[in-house]
């Protein structure tokens, strides 16, 4: 472990207590000047550290940047996020970075996070609003052994993992909107963009992108999306630390991914249906060039929405934008 990381670990153990420079210097076997240099570096990374010529150093707060060390601190997974986490202060799109890395052989479980995206992407060629340090913009690389036909299930599974992570750490009433938007009080709090590279004989890799609005204030959303978007801050009135959310996401994700590989998709699909609560609802579904209105009869094991329209014709809809017609 690098000296800076050892120093941070020690400050975390002694959190809220003063630790003298001399003690740190002895513990880590480096000069007091070196300790001071590492402290300065940690402060640059947004760690809140008090320093006093007499008392030494005191860690008041960890960084709220999504630093790999903060994500991995207490991370309870086998593979996901355990290897390299690529941390980018700014990038075009974490999914684009992840696809590049996957094409060059990056292993399953590699995570790419960015504080800010300049070209964040959503479904169907849309953009994803990605203001600096307010949200989680993260892409995960998967290398499942599966046929291309099974790959859409990964998208449904991802929405379940995101919902579980939010449910386990917040009091929010989280719902899934088919196929994979995450809503709170009818507004979108998170979106998922799954990109698949496949041959006919099997999937090469899947990149799963997550955009989650954490500390985004209402007024910072662009006019056009402000009516339909929300964040944890907006729903609770409180800032929420991001690293624990990423950790929970990785832990739930790995849990469901292992379940998928071992027992198939049945119980995950059941959980998806509980969280989506769409079967039996009256909906409008917009696809590229059509609009369907009717009742949702089912969502099948591949995520295909089965809708019966007012002429009692049945439609199998692969993907689209759905609006509930409650009222």
Residues within the interface to a second copy (CB under 8 A): 99, 103, 123-124, 145, 147-149, 151-152, 155, 179-180, 193-202, 204, 288, 302-303, 318-319
Q: Which is nearer to a second copy, 38 or 153 (CB)?
A: 153
Q: Would strands 291-299 and 282-286 be described as parallel, antiparallel, or unpaired? A: antiparallel
Q: Which is nearer to a second copy, 47 or 265 (CB)?
A: 265
C-alpha to C-alpha distance for 54 and 58, rounded to whole angstroms: 12
CB of 195 to a second copy, least distance (A): 6
Q: For residue 195, what are the CA distances in angstroms to 49, 81, 100, 141, 272?
A: 41, 19, 12, 10, 20
Which SS3 state, helix, strand or coil, does residue 172 take? coil
CB of 256 to a second copy, least distance (A): 17
CB of 151 to a second copy, least distance (A): 7
CB of 117 to a second copy, least distance (A): 17
Secondary structure, 3-state, 180-211: CEEEECCEEEEEEEEEEEEECCEEEEEEEEEE
C-alpha to C-alpha distance for 43 and 58, rounded to whole angstroms: 12
Q: Which is nearer to a second copy, 294 or 303 (CB)?
A: 303
Q: Which is nearer to a second copy, 37 or 143 (CB)?
A: 143
Q: Which is nearer to a second copy, 84 or 195 (CB)?
A: 195
Which of the 8 DSSP states describes residue 284?
Answer: E
291 in Cβ contact with 282 (< 8 Å): no
Which SS3 state, helix, strand or coil, does residue 71 take? helix
Torsion angles phi and psi, residue 235, rounded to 5: -80, -30
CB of 326 to a second copy, least distance (A): 25
Q: Which is nearer to a second copy, 172 or 207 (CB)?
A: 207
Distance spanning both ends of the chain, measured CA to CA: 58
CB of 319 to a second copy, least distance (A): 4
């Amino acid at each position: 472990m690098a000296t800076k990381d050892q120093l941070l670990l020690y400050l975390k153990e002694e959190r809220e207590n003063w630790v003298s420079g001399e003690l740190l210097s002895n513990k880590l076997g480096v000069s007091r000047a070196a300790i001071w240099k590492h402290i300065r570096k940690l402060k640059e990374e947004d760690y809140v550290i008090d320093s006093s010529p007499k008392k030494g150093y005191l860690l008041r707060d960890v960084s709220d940047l999504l630093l790999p060390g903060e994500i991995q601190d207490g991370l309870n997974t086998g593979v996901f996020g355990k290897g390299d986490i690529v941390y980018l202060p700014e990038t075009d799109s974490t999914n684009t970075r992840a696809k590049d890395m996957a094409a060059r052989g990056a292993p399953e479980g590699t995570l790419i996070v960015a504080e800010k995206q300049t070209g964040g992407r959503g479904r169907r060629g849309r953009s994803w609003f990605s203001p600096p340090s307010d949200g989680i913009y993260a892409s995960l690389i998967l290398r499942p052994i599966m046929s291309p036909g099974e790959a859409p299930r990964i998208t449904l599974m991802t929405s379940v993992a995101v919902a579980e992570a939010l449910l386990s750490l917040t009091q929010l009433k989280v719902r899934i909107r088919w196929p994979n938007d995450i809503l709170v009080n009818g507004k979108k709090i998170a979106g998922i963009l799954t990109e698949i590279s496949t041959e006919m004989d099997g999937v090469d890799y899947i990149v799963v992108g997550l955009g989650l609005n954490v500390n985004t204030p209402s007024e910072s959303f662009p006019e056009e999306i402000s009516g339909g978007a929300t964040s944890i801050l907006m729903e609770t009135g409180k800032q929420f630390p991001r690293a624990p959310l990423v950790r929970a996401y990785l832990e739930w994700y790995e849990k469901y991914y292992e379940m998928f590989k071992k027992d198939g998709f049945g119980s995950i699909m059941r959980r998806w249906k509980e969280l989506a609560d769409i079967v039996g609802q009256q909906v409008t579904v917009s696809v590229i060039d059509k609009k369907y209105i009717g009742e949702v009869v089912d969502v099948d094991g591949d995520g295909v929405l089965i809708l019966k329209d007012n002429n009692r014709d049945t439609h199998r809809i692969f993907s689209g934008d759905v609006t509930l017609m409650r009222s």
